[in-house]
Amino acid sequence: MKKKKVIVAMSGGVDSSVAALLMKKKGYEVIGVFLKCWSDTKNSIGECAWKTERRFAMKICHKLKIPLVTIDAEKEYKKYVIGEMFKDYKKGITPNPDILCNEIVKFPFLLKTAKKFKADAIVTGHFAKVKKSKKKYFLYRAKDEMKDQSYFLYRLKEKDLANLIFPIGEYTKKEVREIAKINEFPNYGKKSTVGICFIGKVNLKDFLKKKIKSKKGKILGPDEKTILGEHDGVYYYTIGQRLGSRFDLNIKKVGKANMQRWYVAKKDIKKNTIIVAPKGHEILYKKHIIIKDFHLISENINKFKKGSHKVYSRIRHVGELVPSTLDYNKKTKKFELNLGIKLDGVSSGQAVVLYQGRKVLGGGVIYE
C-alpha cells in the first residue's frame, strides 16, 4: 500500500518541527515547506531574519530525513497582507494581519504546493483541532487553552478543513517542547514568535510611520470637549491602548486623575481627535457589537438568520470567552452580538470569533 503524502509548513519553530515528527511517526511521507514572506526584518548581524528561521527548519528536516522546499510568497504577502494593514490603520481601524495572512497567503500557497507534489493533506503546527462527523468537518479549540490558535483560523472553509491536519492540537505547549527535547531538536527551547505574522515583534508606531505620515491633533477627555493634550497621529493608536510616555501618548493630569491609568476610548478620523478616559469609565466599555464580513466555517448561515443563538465570543487571541447572544438584523442585513458582560478594548476592524462549546463556528469583523 502506497504511503500517504503530506506537506508540513515548517517555520523553524518547535511547533511545526514536532508536527513534522508526529506525521513521520504515523507513517506518512513528509515534505517540509518553508514560506518566505518578509525580507525587511534583520537579525543582529544584519542578515534577513527569515534565513535564520529557515536554517532551523533545514536542521529539523535533515534530522528527520525529509526534503525542505522554499516557497517565495513575499510579493503577495506585502501586497495583500501588509498593504491592506496600512490601509486599515489609515482608516482608523485596527486590523488583524495574522488572520488575513492565513486566509490570503499561507493556506492558499500551501494548497498550491500540496497540489504540485500531489500530497494528500496539509499539516501545520497550529494549536487547533479538526474533527470529522457525519461526513462534515469542524474546527475545534486546542487542548492547551493558553496556546489555542483557533482565533486566527476562523476564516477557513469546511473544504479547507478536509485537507488539513493539526497534529499538535492534542498536546500542550509543554508536551510539545518535551517531545522536541527528547528527540534532540535544536529548537526545543526556542522562544515562540510574537508580533506580526512573518515579521515578528516591532514598534507598531514606527512601523506605521513608514507609510502613514504623522498629523498632530487634540487629545480630548471623556466629555469630548476638554483638551488634555496633543497626539502626533490618530492612526498610530488603538482603542484600549494605555496612555504613557512608553507609547508617546501623554496628557495633563490634575488631582486624582494623576493617580489613574488612562486609555484610548475613541478615535475620530475626520476631526483628527483621540478621546481618552480613566480606567473603569463607562465610555471604555461595550456590550453590543455589529459584525461585518460574517463567516461560518461548517454551519449553514441561514440557520443563524432565524431567532437568537447562544454562543461564546472572543475579541482577541486567547482573550476571555464571553457568553453572548447572536442575532440577525433583517433591516441592516448584519449579524449583531450582545455580550453577557461589558468588554473594554473593543475596536472596529478587530476580529470577533464565535464558539459553541469547543467548536469554532466562525466570526467576522467588528463594525462598530
Contact by Cβ (8 Å): 368, 239: no
How far is it, in rounded angstroms, from Cα 285 to Cα 341?
Answer: 9
Is 48 tagged catalytic? no
The secondary structure of the chain in percent helix, strand, coil, rounded to multiples of 5, reads 30, 30, 40
Query: Can you read off the three cell numbers belonging to residue 347?
Result: 475596536
CA 115-16-315 angle, to 5 degrees, is 95
Per DSSP, helices labelled H in the chain are 14-25, 49-64, 74-77, 83-90, 97-101, 107-116, 158-161, 173-182, 204-209
Contacts 24+ apart (CB under 8 A), 112-121: 113/7, 113/33, 113/69, 113/71, 114/7, 114/163, 117/5, 117/7, 117/31, 117/69, 118/5, 119/5, 119/6, 119/7, 119/31, 120/4, 120/5, 120/6, 121/4, 121/6, 121/7, 121/163, 121/164, 121/165
Query: Can you read off the three cell numbers belonging to residue 239?
Result: 482603542
Q: Which residues pair with 323 in a beta bridge?
A: 312
3-class secondary-structure state, position 114 = helix
Is 197 tagged catalytic? yes
Residues designated as active site = 101, 197
